[in-house]
Amino acid sequence: MHRLPGEDPVTAAPTPAAQPAPRLPVSVLTGFLGSGKTTLLQRLLHHPGMARTAVVINEFGEVGLDHLLVAKASENMVLMDSGCLCCTIRGDLVDTLRDLFLKRVRGDIPEFDRVVVETTGLADPAPIIHTLMSDPLLAARFRLDGVISTVDAVHGASQLDRQPESVKQAAVADRIVLTKTDLATPHTTLALCQRLSAINPAAPQIPAAFGEVDPKQLFDAGLYNPDTKSPDVARWLREEAYRDEQAKHHHGHDHDHGHDHHHHDHGHGDACGPDCGHDHHHHDTNRHDDHIRAFCMVVDEPIPWNNFVDFMEALIATGGENLLRIKGLLNVKESPLPVVVHGVQHMFHPPVQLQEWPGEDHRSKIVFITRDIGESVIQPMFDQFVWGAEGAA
Ligand X SMILES: Nc1nc2c(ncn2[C@@H]2O[C@H](COP(=O)(O)OP(=O)(O)OP(=O)(O)O)[C@@H](O)[C@H]2O)c(=O)[nH]1
Give kind and range of the element (H or E) at residue 369. strand 364-371
Amino acid letter for position 343 = G
Asked if 90 and 96 touch (Cβ cutoff 8 Å), the reply is yes
223 near 354, Cβ under 8 Å? no
Distance, CA of 266 to CA of 276 (rounded, Å): 13
3-state secondary structure of 304: coil
> By C-beta, is 40 or 312 nearer to ligand X?
40
Between 39 and 96, name the residue whose CB sits nearer to ligand X: 39
From CA 228, how far away is CA 207, in angstroms rounded?
Answer: 27
Minimal distance, residue 147 CB to ligand X, in Å: 15
In whole angstroms, how close is the CB of 154 to ligand X at the nearest point? 9
Amino acid letter, 159: Q
Smallest gap from Cβ 36 to ligand X, in A, equals 3
* Closest distance to ligand X from the beta carbon of 165 (Å): 11
Positions that interact with ligand X (CB under 6 A): 31, 33-39, 121, 179-180, 182-183, 209-210
**Complex with ligand X: residue 193 or 377, whichever CB lies closer:** 193
| Nearer to ligand X (CB atom), residue 165 or residue 375 | 165
Q: Indicate the residue among 180 and 264 with the shorter CB distance to ligand X.
A: 180
Q: Say how far apart CA 188 and CA 208 lie, in whole Å.
A: 15
CB 318 within 8 A of CB 306: no
If the CB atoms of residues 79 and 184 are measured against ligand X, the closer one turns out to be: 184
Determine the longest span between alpha carbons in the chain, in angstroms.
67
Chain position whose Cβ is nearest to ligand X: 121
50 Cβ neighbours under 8 A, 6+ residues apart: 44, 82, 83, 84, 215
Closest to ligand X by CB, 31 vs 146, is 31
Residue 73 or 209: which CB sits closer to ligand X?
209
Q: Strand 347-348 vs strand 142-152: parallel, antiparallel, or unpaired?
A: unpaired
**Cα distance between residue 116 and residue 6, in whole Å:** 27
Label the pairing between strands 114-118 and 53-57: parallel
CB of 156 to ligand X, least distance (A): 12
Residue 341 CB coordination number (10 Å) = 22
Q: How far is the CB of 124 from ligand X (least distance, A)?
A: 14
Return d(Cα 111, Cα 134) in angstroms, integer.
Answer: 25
The whole-angstrom separation of Cα 210 and Cα 137 is: 37
